[in-house]
Chain A
Amino acid sequence: MITKNKLLIITLALTALSACDGMFDYSPYAIDFSEENMNVNEKNVSKLILKEPDDTLTIAFTGDTHRFYDQTEEFVEKVNQNPAVDFVIHVGDMADFGLPKQYTWGNSFLLKLTVPYFVVVGNHDLVGNGLTAYKEMFGALNFSFIYDNLKFIFMNTNGLEFKFNGEVPDVQWLDAQLSPNNDFSKAIVIFHIPPMDRDFDSSLEETFSKTLAHHNNVLFTVHGHLHGHEIYKPYEDSITYVNVYGVENMKFNLIKIANNQFDVETVAF
């Protein structure tokens, strides 16, 4: 009798378990990403380098997507309609509370992009165990790749999240990355927090901006964090900083690069 009851209970439990697969939550901080949510930046580099470059390189920028999931979805739809876009760069703050679940949500929309995409780390992405989640989903915090003779350098500039420890951003790494060689002519540097911001490690502001100018090969830099759009030259070195729209503005910036010249456009969606 007891055996029968037990069997019934076990059967019921297993049925319920299989019916609700994926709806069991063990903790908001459990990181157990599926294959498509791992090593995303590197996978997209592999995808991009297979593509033959044309005269003009067109990059769509978004960022600060936080909890604006519906808008992120619309951004992806809009970009997919534009065949000129070569790839997409997200300038950080994809996970509002740094939750692994928010990483998965954010990436679920970006995965629908028909072109490669890259995500740099933002301060919101680092709350809780967000650092581990970012590394698992996207890879190294500082990374770079070369495409069409251009070097794209992605940097963690979220100094405040690292208690302004004097190591974020890693200026020495940046200098080594910018050190000229035959593989690239110009570099584009992408980061979340701009150097003049209060959340940037002020002890590194001068070194950072001087390092960017040091090899005289930075075409422009792109950042987010401020949600609005601005093209400006904050330092005497006359390097252009492009602050790109946060997704909630229902606008994004398109940067076109040809013959080491660049042009910034705004697209509404």
Chain B
Amino acid sequence: MWKQWHFKIALIVLLVHLCNPVNTYGQYSQKTDSAKYVRFLPDYVKLQFAGGIGLLSIGVGYSFFKEKLEVSYFYGYVPKAVSIDDLHSVSLQVTAKFFRFKANKNIEIVPLNVGWFIHHTFGNEYWITLPSHYPAEYYWWSPGRNAGIFLGGEIKTKLLSNKTPASGTAFCARVGSRGLYLTSKFGNSAIPFRDIVEFGFGVALYR
């Protein structure tokens, strides 16, 4: 039951961000007098393809410490076209961005980002705490929530900055894996590395 709650809250948080009356993008929000509220607006919205968190996932991100650290929250969907059952999930990600340099006045490269994510799939069979009918510690992992790591890169451009309130558009790529895959690979040379890799691409619109 609480899982439905979780799902609803996730959707509400996303909808509030995406359909914000103050608008997610900078120029608009400067016109409002609630400057304090603006601080809570996400720094970017992002659409991602694959990466283990949905065929498509959409999320919001916040930057901290001069854009060196980012926290983002995604809702991901896998349609029946690519899986027997469609899947809904959310993921929380923390990304450290150590390096950045300007290629020219319009393009900034942000390579070698290191990220950690925790991914929660919705549904009764994807439990988080071991259901009570099992003896204690019967299974050590949880199918409903598992964590992973990734390496990512980003190219920030000024695309769309002229015509929209956005400050720019970024193109991102990432390669990662998750604990359950790494554990499966451990000690098994017979499992190819490419099988445990989660590639993903994304487009982010910055405030």
Contact = CB atoms under 8 A, between A and B. Distances in A.
Interface of A: 5, 9, 13, 16-17, 20, 22-32, 67-70, 72-73, 96-99, 101-102, 105, 109, 127-129, 131-132, 136, 160, 163-164, 198
B84 interface: yes
Given A70-B189, A97-B141, A164-B133, A30 B184 contact: no
Contacts of B190: 69-70, 72-73, 109
A70 B200 CA distance: 29
Given A24-B50, A67-B184, A70-B190, 13 more contacts: A5-B159, A16-B173, A24-B198, A25-B52, A25-B197, A29-B126, A69-B184, A102-B184, A105-B184, A105-B195, A129-B123, A132-B84, A198-B135
- From DSSP, what is the main secondary structure of chain A's interface residues? loop
A29 B87 contact: yes
B187 A70 contact: yes
Contacts of B76: 27
A96, A105, A132, A136: most-surrounded residue (chain B CB, <10 A): A105
Interface string B46-82: 0001111111000000000000000000001010001
- From DSSP, what is the main secondary structure of chain B's interface residues? loop
A127 B188 contact: no
23 contacts: A5-B159, A16-B201, A23-B194, A23-B198, A25-B50, A25-B199, A27-B54, A28-B121, A28-B181, A29-B143, A30-B83, A69-B191, A70-B188, A97-B184, A98-B143, A101-B195, A128-B143, A129-B85, A129-B123, A132-B84, A132-B85, A160-B138, A163-B133
Given A97-B141, A164-B133, A26 B50 contact: yes
Contacts of B191: 69, 105
B78 A20 contact: no
Given A16-B173, A97-B180, A164-B133, A29 B139 contact: no
B53 A27 contact: yes
Contacts of B189: 70
B101 interface: no
A9 B172 CA distance: 12
Closest 5 CB pairs of A and B: A128-B143, A24-B50, A30-B83, A25-B198, A69-B188
B178 interface: yes
Nearest to A73: B190
Contacts of A13: 201
B33 interface: no
Contacts of A72: 190
B73 to A, nearest CB: 17
A31 B180 CA distance: 16
A28 B178 contact: yes
B143 A27 contact: no
B125 A128 contact: yes
Given A13-B201, A198-B135, A31 B83 contact: yes
Contacts of A29: 78, 83, 85, 87, 121, 126, 143
A215 to B, nearest CB: 33
A9 B126 CA distance: 37
A32 B135 contact: no
A114 to B, nearest CB: 18
Contact of A25 (B51, B84, B171): B51
